[in-house]
Amino acid sequence: MLFWLKKTLTIPFLPLYFTMLVGSVGLLLLWSGKFLRVGRALVTIALLSLLAASNKGFSAWLMRPLESRYAPLSDFDTATALPAELQRCQAIVVLGGGHADGTALSHVNQLSSAALSRLAEAIRLSRLLPQAQFIVSGNNDPRYPTHAKILEETSITLGVEPGRIVRMDEPRDTEDEANGIARRLGNAPFVLVTSAWHMPRAVALCEKAGLHPYPAPADFVLKVNPAEEFSWLSFDLEALERSTKAVHEYLGRFWGQIRQKA
């Protein structure tokens, strides 16, 4: 129940949906000939929201605090070069990132860019931590293989030993994933691999579940010099996507705070 409530309450606040909802109400008021000032105000708010969310500078401003929270892991030459805390990790956990169902594409090409980036980082680390379990996660429509299954088969294709892989087919969201990890690992330290912009919320949920994650962020969307990323005169769909991801994360953190106070 709470899962669907969260999804339902989140959607209207995502930039594109917010623009469509507020703009549509404003247009209806204008066409009706009533409440013209309210209608003009809503249409203006909708247009300004879309412009802001599509602006490269604004989207970078929203995203930077999320992606800069945890530093990316270096290209370590050998396992002995790893930090001691990382060497103690007994598992590598890859959080789900989505894929395409019902296609003739290979498993690698079925994965979303986020899922593929997360998996690539996890496989890189798995070669430095050969004794660590390789845990993949994600639910799906019952008509299709779970996301965890697609990640498992892709991992095998890319050289991960099948005996190392553990699937979590049940989790529908990050909170479910944190609880699933807790049931499997208890207090054992583990490497947590997810998108850099998603990592702060993922770590918070894991720690709330009593876990000890070692953050390994992947799928960075801000890949240019910070001095160059705040382009306030440029607009594109990539910026809109960045803004949407950032707003989704902030809403998720706000939802978590509400539930803690309830």
Residue tagged 């994965």 (tokens)? 111
- Predicted local distance difference test score (pLDDT) of residue 262: 38
- What is the rounded CA–CA span in Å between residue 205 and residue 194? 13
- Predicted local distance difference test score (pLDDT) of residue 87: 93
- Predicted local distance difference test score (pLDDT) of residue 225: 64
Residue tagged 């703009």 (tokens)? 23
- Predicted local distance difference test score (pLDDT) of residue 226: 62
Contacts of 6 (CB under 8 A, 6+ apart): 173, 255
pLDDT tens for each residue of 101-136: 988 899 999 999 999 999 999 999 999 999 999 999
Whether the model pTM is above 0.85: yes
Contacts of 65 (CB under 8 A, 6+ apart): none
Do 165 and 156 form a contact (C-beta atoms < 8 A)? Answer: yes
- What is the rounded CA–CA span in Å between residue 27 and residue 38? 10
- What is the rounded CA–CA span in Å between residue 79 and residue 57? 39
The CATH code that applies to domain 75-218 is 3.40.50.620
Give the strand order in the sheet containing 133-137. Answer: 165-168, 133-137, 91-94, 190-195, 213-218
- Predicted local distance difference test score (pLDDT) of residue 258: 79
- What is the rounded CA–CA span in Å between residue 134 and residue 94? 8
Do 221 and 230 form a contact (C-beta atoms < 8 A)? Answer: no
| Domain regions of the chain by residue span | 2-66+237-261, 75-218
- What is the rounded CA–CA span in Å between residue 58 and residue 62? 6
Render each residue's pLDDT in the chain as its tens digit; 262 residues.
Answer: 566 676 777 899 999 999 999 999 999 999 998 899 999 999 999 999 999 999 999 999 999 999 999 999 988 877 778 899 999 999 999 999 999 998 889 999 999 999 999 999 999 999 999 999 999 999 998 899 999 999 999 999 999 999 999 999 999 999 999 999 999 999 999 999 999 999 999 999 999 999 999 999 999 999 766 655 667 888 999 999 999 999 999 999 988 887 774 3
